[in-house]
């Protein structure tokens, strides 16, 4: 076991940073997965409970499991983190409080949290319980770190889209600013193509929210690509939005050097064999990389076999492996687009077909009993595959035979690709690693022995977390007449820890004089000390728990009269100069503007100023910000806008001297979040999260001042928001904006789903892509109810609509709020999706 030795390095800015060996964090969806992680070397596991977690499709643990689970983990020197990583609605806060109290009381090591309001609630319940900011919080810069730290987070999980260069830059900047916290980074597993916490696809298409643990994985489906109205010939590359799985194996030295504190493995829905394999591979690889990094070697250390490790990763689950965004953006490598499900290891291309078998040149090992599948480029259709009975190799070709009648040979052709999907021998080996009666993975203890003839022998053992257990003999040490007790004998007897979770690392022999002591008694002292240490480790952590102050707002501004719609206002949200010119002809005092190129905002502001000095233009900056994109902020601050929609942590910080309103991407789903953002950042208004349906929105409005909220009544839902650039990947040969030729500036692009809907695709200043729902949706049916709740600010968003469509749509919504047009008539006339937020819901009466 490598020593946890800190190493100070000089940065390029002559600053120093402390680099320590990263923690290895594994997923656990059930008890078998937890054991698989522990027995293969995880330092910590993360797991969900029966409520409030982002993997509700999994089995998960229950609150009742926590005492036993935490005692088991801690006895093995492993930490346990509960995932509380979803948005929570206002009418769930009381349940969330009770749930959190149980988690904290059970001695869990930390909670991984997405919701700002839940962070606040945890701090009301406990001043010292650790909070880890989830990747769902969309932290992509030093501003995200500062935001999370101020909420009480002691660890921040960065967005998967963060490169190692950006990680290093973020660390340097937070060190300088005094806002540094340990950084956690995903190093292996499935990659979400959309920014976590910013994906609205499942809810837009199926009423299931990814921010509520109900992701429908629409990114793994095939799509057709259309450019300027014509279908692009993609061949067999139809899985446009399905990234290969992440593997940071080759980047471990750079990950360590960047100062990452925790390496996170994705996979709470995966099988225990997957957890065992990936944990074991990364445990060995990390230990090896750390020894190389600190320039040390260890006795009995087995060098990591990278080829063997990669094979295990490919076989247990793989859609193909890439380094994701760790080494920066490479749109050609991220998404191969040929399939969106597990494939395994490529064996080669079928050369010929014979009776009950095929001939090919094998690119990887294969044996009888292994499972394979034939890939003919249509993974959405039924595929042929099965277990093989024999492999006969002559020269460089192999003949692979299958069971009689197990393959429909009419559906297999020369040129098909053969993949190995199953290795029963490997699966058996992995199961044996965690289905054990005594620990498979052990952790170091050090031992100190004290005494002299005539006095008792004292043994102290210490684990790697600093716990100390002591045992003392009842009989005194005798004077040795022949062979005195030496360090070799002590190490031999004290190292007999076979059925315990420990191994003896260091021995400090402090015996004085020539000592004789019976081996049987020495063994008993060892057992007593180990039992005491194990008991100490199993004891639950004691976090401070308070009664928890009420979460309801102390004061609430008086809402306007329920039926008074005269003060209601519409704010058009525009995305082109043509739309802006149309809106300027109408009597709207406030306009929102979002453009792909921030350099054009100055021109938009000038148009508004020329049209009327009384009109205001508020700018919607790019939805995400990554460290190093300061040029965008400079364009914003110099454009002369009346204010900005704050859409991420950087906007809350860098634009704080300007009037700000919080946009939907801040994920305001409960009143605790709303109160914090209003008070801390002095926002004028907030847009409620699009995860809220009408019922959940009602719960939020009941606990806040509804006049401070904007409700989006009409929009094309922004579904996927992603670092992956479809324009670059499929309309160019380039890796990123430097060599792609910028097809996004020249073409109107959309993707077509299996229902025939053409969803528009837009790029922003950071070359990030957003897929918008082809069909606009409306909350018109709920407009009167929202007025009754006191809402007075309504947003109408446009995407590609013509100026005439802008005018006609705004006119209808004006008549809707005036009560001269019904909600049903409006959505029928415009042929819109009739829902507000995720699903329709039902607004409660006040």
Query: Does residue 782 form part of some domain?
Result: yes
pLDDT (mean) for 702-717: 95
Q: Identify the pLDDT of residue 555.
A: 40
Nearest to 622 by CA among 636, 611, 608, 612: 636
Query: Does residue 76 form part of some domain?
Result: yes
Do 675 and 703 sit in the same domain of this protein? Answer: yes
State how beta strands 478-479 and 515-516 pair. Answer: antiparallel
Residue 41 has pLDDT above 70, yes or no: yes
Residue 141 has pLDDT above 80, yes or no: yes
On whether the CB atoms of residues 122 and 157 are closer than 8 A, the answer is no
Rounded Cα distance, 53 and 362, in Å: 43
Residue 3 has pLDDT above 60, yes or no: no
Q: What is the pLDDT of residues 361-399, one digit of tens each?
A: 999 999 999 999 999 988 888 999 999 999 999 988 999
End-to-end CA distance of the chain: 63
Q: Identify the pLDDT of residue 10.
A: 37
Residue 720 has pLDDT above 60, yes or no: yes
Last residue of a domain, one of 409, 434, 459: 434
Q: Identify the pLDDT of residue 559.
A: 54
On whether the CB atoms of residues 727 and 766 are closer than 8 A, the answer is no
Q: Identify the pLDDT of residue 838.
A: 55
Query: Does residue 91 form part of some domain?
Result: yes
More confident residue, 833 or 636: 636
Do 191 and 265 sit in the same domain of this protein? Answer: yes
**Which tokens hold the place of 376?**
């003919």
- Report pTM: 0.93
Nearest to 749 by CA among 762, 738, 739: 762
Nearest to 389 by CA among 373, 403, 371: 403
Q: What is the pLDDT of residues 475-532, one digit of tens each?
A: 999 999 888 999 999 999 999 998 999 999 999 999 999 999 999 999 999 999 999 9
Q: Give the number of domains in the chain.
A: 5
Do 413 and 467 sit in the same domain of this protein? Answer: no
Query: Does residue 24 form part of some domain?
Result: yes
What is the 3 state secondary structure string of 449-482? Answer: EEECECCEEEEEEEECCCCEEEEEEEEEEEECCC
Alpha helices in 614-753 (DSSP H): 630-637, 649-654, 671-681, 694-702, 726-731
pLDDT band per the 50, 70, 90 thresholds, residue 2: very low
Rounded Cα distance, 420 and 407, in Å: 15
Phi and psi torsions of 522, nearest 5°: -65, -40
Rounded Cα distance, 288 and 304, in Å: 6
Residue indicated by tokens 């700000």: 660
Range of the domain at 587: 569-716+775-834
On whether the CB atoms of residues 723 and 329 are closer than 8 A, the answer is yes
Do 518 and 531 sit in the same domain of this protein? Answer: yes
Residue indicated by tokens 């996979």: 267
Name the β-bridge partners of 619. 593, 644
Do 279 and 160 sit in the same domain of this protein? Answer: yes
Rg, Å, the chain Cα set: 30
More confident residue, 568 or 6: 568
More confident residue, 302 or 153: 153
Do 108 and 134 sit in the same domain of this protein? Answer: yes
Q: Identify the pLDDT of residue 94.
A: 95
Do 257 and 271 sit in the same domain of this protein? Answer: yes
Kindly list the distances between the CA atom of residue 297 and the CA atoms of 303, 447, 835, in Å, as whole numbers in the listed order.
10, 22, 62
The dihedral of CA 102, 105, 106, 112: what is its sign? positive
Do 76 and 120 sit in the same domain of this protein? Answer: yes
Query: Does residue 641 form part of some domain?
Result: yes
On whether the CB atoms of residues 603 and 619 are closer than 8 A, the answer is no
Q: Identify the pLDDT of residue 5.
A: 37
Buried b (16+ CB within 10 A) or exposed e, 46-57: bbbbebbbbbbe
CA 177 to chain centre: 26
CATH number, domain containing residue 48: 3.20.20.70
pLDDT band per the 50, 70, 90 thresholds, residue 679: very high
Do 659 and 521 sit in the same domain of this protein? Answer: no
Name the β-bridge partners of 18. 8
Buried b (16+ CB within 10 A) or exposed e, 428-458: eebbebbeeeebbbbbbbebbbbbbbeebbb
DSSP secondary structure, 800-837, as one string: S--HHHHHHHHHHHHHHHHTSS-HHHHHHHHT-EE-SS
pLDDT band per the 50, 70, 90 thresholds, residue 55: low
Query: Does residue 373 form part of some domain?
Result: yes
On whether the CB atoms of residues 375 and 416 are closer than 8 A, the answer is yes
| Torsion angle of C-alpha atoms 773, 775, 781, 785, degrees rounded to 10 | 20
Q: Identify the pLDDT of residue 211.
A: 73
Residue 412 has pLDDT above 50, yes or no: yes
Mean pLDDT score of the chain, rounded to an integer?
91
Rounded Cα distance, 239 and 237, in Å: 6
pLDDT band per the 50, 70, 90 thresholds, residue 561: low
Residue 12 has pLDDT above 70, yes or no: no
**Which tokens hold the place of 192?**
């979400």
pLDDT band per the 50, 70, 90 thresholds, residue 646: very high
Among 17-31, 319-333, 782-796, where is mean pLDDT lowest?
17-31
pLDDT band per the 50, 70, 90 thresholds, residue 101: very high
Beta strands in 532-574 (DSSP E): 569-574
CATH number, domain containing residue 425: 2.40.30
Rounded Cα distance, 639 and 473, in Å: 80
Beta strands in 28-105 (DSSP E): 44-47, 79-84
**Which tokens hold the place of 86?**
């979803």
pLDDT band per the 50, 70, 90 thresholds, residue 798: very high
Q: Identify the pLDDT of residue 491.
A: 96
DSSP secondary structure, 134-199, as one string: -GGG---SHHHHHHHHHTTEEEEE--TT--HHHHHHHHHHHHHHT----EEEEEEEPPPSBPTT--
Last residue of a domain, one of 772, 798, 816: 772
Last residue of a domain, one of 772, 794, 810: 772
pLDDT band per the 50, 70, 90 thresholds, residue 829: confident
Residue 562 has pLDDT above 60, yes or no: no
Query: Does residue 204 form part of some domain?
Result: no
Helix (H) or strand (E) holding 515: strand 515-516
Rounded Cα distance, 592 and 626, in Å: 23
Do 372 and 295 sit in the same domain of this protein? Answer: no
Query: Does residue 550 form part of some domain?
Result: no
Q: What is the pLDDT of residues 148-173, one digit of tens each?
A: 999 999 999 999 999 999 999 999 99
Residue 8 has pLDDT above 60, yes or no: no
On whether the CB atoms of residues 159 and 126 are closer than 8 A, the answer is no
CA 354 to chain centre: 47
Nearest to 511 by CA among 446, 456, 444: 456
Residue 564 has pLDDT above 80, yes or no: no
Helix 577-584 with 803-818: angle, nearest 10 deg? 50
| pLDDT > 70 fraction of the chain, expressed in percent and rounded | 93
More confident residue, 658 or 831: 658
What is the 3 state secondary structure string of 269-311? Answer: CCCHHHHHHHHHHHHHHHHHHHHHHHCCCCCCCCCCCHHHHHH
Q: Identify the pLDDT of residue 548.
A: 61
On whether the CB atoms of residues 467 and 536 are closer than 8 A, the answer is yes
Q: What is the pLDDT of residues 744-777, one digit of tens each?
A: 999 999 999 999 999 999 999 999 999 999 999 9
On whether the CB atoms of residues 306 and 259 are closer than 8 A, the answer is no
Q: Identify the pLDDT of residue 297.
A: 75
Do 449 and 492 sit in the same domain of this protein? Answer: yes
Kindly list the distances between the CA atom of residue 492 and the CA atoms of 126, 298, 507, 516, 521, in Å, as whole numbers in the listed order.
46, 19, 11, 15, 14
Rounded Cα distance, 594 and 604, in Å: 10
On whether the CB atoms of residues 342 and 180 are closer than 8 A, the answer is no
Do 766 and 794 sit in the same domain of this protein? Answer: no
Going by C-beta distance under 8 Å and a sequence separation of 6 or more, which residues neighbour residue 764? 596, 622, 623, 770
Phi and psi torsions of 245, nearest 5°: -75, 150
DSSP secondary structure, 754-775, as one string: TTS-EEEEEE-TTS-EEEEPSS
Nearest to 263 by CA among 344, 185, 379: 185
**Which tokens hold the place of 782?**
């709920």
Q: Identify the pLDDT of residue 565.
A: 61
Q: Identify the pLDDT of residue 549.
A: 54
Judged on CB neighbours under 10 Å (0-12, 13-18, 19+), 4 is exposed
């Amino acid at each position: 076991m490598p020593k946890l030795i800190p190493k100070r390095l000089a940065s390029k800015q002559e600053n120093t940073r402390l680099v320590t060996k990263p923690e290895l964090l594994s997923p656990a969806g059930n008890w078998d997965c937890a054991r698989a992680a522990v027995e293969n070397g995880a330092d910590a596991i993360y797991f969900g409970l029966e409520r409030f977690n982002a993997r509700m499709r999994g089995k998960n643990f229950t609150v009742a499991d926590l005492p036993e689970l935490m005692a088991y983990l801690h006895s093995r020197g492993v930490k346990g983190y509960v995932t509380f990583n979803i948005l929570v609605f206002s009418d769930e806060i009381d349940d969330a409080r009770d749930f959190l109290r149980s988690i904290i009381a059970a001695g869990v090591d930390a909670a991984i949290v997405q919701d700002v309001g839940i962070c606040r609630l945890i701090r009301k319940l406990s001043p010292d319980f650790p909070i880890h900011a989830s990747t769902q919080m969309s932290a992509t810069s030093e501003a995200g770190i500062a935001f999370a730290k101020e909420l009480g987070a002691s660890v921040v999980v960065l967005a998967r889209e963060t490169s190692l260069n950006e990680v290093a830059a973020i660390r340097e900047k937070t060190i300088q600013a005094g806002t540094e916290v340990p950084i956690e980074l995903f190093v292996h597993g499935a990659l979400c193509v959309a920014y976590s916490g910013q994906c609205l696809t499942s809810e837009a298409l199926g009423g299931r929210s990814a921010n509520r643990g109900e992701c429908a994985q629409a990114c793994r489906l095939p799509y057709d690509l259309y450019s300027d109205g014509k279908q692009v010939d993609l061949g067999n590359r139809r899985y446009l939005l399905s990234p290969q799985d992440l593997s940071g194996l080759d980047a471990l030295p750079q990950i360590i050097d960047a100062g990452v504190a925790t390496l996170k493995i994705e996979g709470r829905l995966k099988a225990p064999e997957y957890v065992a394999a990936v944990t074991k591979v990364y445990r060995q690889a990390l230990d090896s990389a750390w020894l190389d990094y600190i320039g040390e070697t260890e006795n009995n250390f087995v060098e990591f076999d990278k080829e063997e490790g990669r094979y295990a990763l490919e076989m247990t689950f793989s859609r193909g492996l890439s380094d994701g965004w760790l080494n920066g953006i490479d749109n050609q490598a991220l998404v191969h687009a040929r399939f969106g499900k597990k494939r395994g290891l490529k064996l080669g291309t079928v050369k010929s077909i014979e009776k009950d078998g095929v001939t090919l040149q094998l690119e990887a090992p294969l044996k009888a009993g292994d499972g394979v599948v034939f890939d003919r480029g249509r993974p959405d259709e039924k595929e042929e595959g099965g277990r093989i009975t024999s492999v006969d190799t002559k020269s460089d070709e192999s003949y692979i035979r299958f069971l009689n009648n197990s393959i429909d040979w009419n559906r297999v052709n020369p040129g098909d690709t053969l993949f190995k999907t199953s290795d029963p021998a490997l699966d058996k080996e992995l199961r044996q690693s965690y289905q054990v009666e005594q620990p498979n993975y052990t952790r170091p203890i050090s031992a100190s022995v004290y005494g002299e003839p005539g006095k008792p022998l004292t043994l102290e053992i210490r684990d790697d977390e600093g716990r100390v257990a002591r045992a003392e003999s009842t009989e005194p040490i005798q004077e040795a007449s022949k062979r005195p007790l030496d360090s070799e004998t002590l190490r031999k007897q004290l190292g007999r820890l076979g059925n315990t979770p420990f191994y003896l690392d260091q021995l400090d022999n402090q015996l004085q004089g020539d000592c004789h002591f019976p081996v049987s008694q020495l063994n008993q002292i060892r057992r007593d000390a180990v039992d005491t240490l194990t008991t100490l480790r199993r004891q639950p952590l004691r976090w401070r728990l308070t009664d928890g102050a009420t979460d309801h707002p102390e004061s609430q501004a008086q809402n306007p009269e329920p039926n008074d719609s005269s003060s209601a206002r519409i704010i058009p949200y525009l995305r082109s100069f043509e739309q802006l010119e149309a809106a300027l002809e109408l009597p709207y005092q406030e306009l929102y503007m979002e453009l792909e190129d921030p350099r054009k905002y100055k021109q938009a502001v000038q148009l508004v100023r020329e049209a009327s000095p009384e009109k205001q233009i508020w700018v919607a900056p790019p939805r995400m910000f990554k460290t190093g994109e300061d040029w965008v902020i400079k364009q914003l601050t110099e454009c002369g806008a009346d204010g900005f929609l704050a859409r991420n942590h950087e906007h809350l910080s860098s634009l704080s001297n300007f009037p700000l309103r919080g946009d939907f991407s801040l994920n305001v789903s409960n009143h605790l979040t709303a109160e914090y953002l209003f008070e801390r950042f002095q926002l004028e208004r907030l847009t409620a999260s699009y995860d809220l349906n009408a019922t959940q929105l009602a719960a939020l409005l009941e606990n806040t001042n509804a006049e401070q909220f904007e409700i989006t009544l009409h929009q094309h839902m922004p579904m996927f928001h992603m670092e992956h650039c479809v324009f670059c990947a499929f309309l160019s040969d380039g890796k990123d904006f430097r060599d792609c030729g910028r097809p996004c500036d020249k073409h109107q692009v959309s993707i077509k789903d299996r229902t025939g809907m053409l969803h528009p695709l837009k790029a922003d200043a950071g070359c990030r892509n957003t897929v918008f729902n082809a069909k606009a949706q409306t909350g018109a049916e709920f407009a009167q109810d929202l007025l009754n709740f006191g809402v007075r600010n309504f947003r109408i968003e446009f995407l590609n609509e013509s100026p005439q469509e802008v005018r006609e749509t705004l006119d209808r919504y004006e008549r809707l709020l005036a009560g001269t047009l019904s909600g049903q008539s409006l959505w029928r006339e415009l042929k819109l999706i009739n829902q507000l937020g995720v699903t329709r819901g039902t607004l409660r009466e006040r």
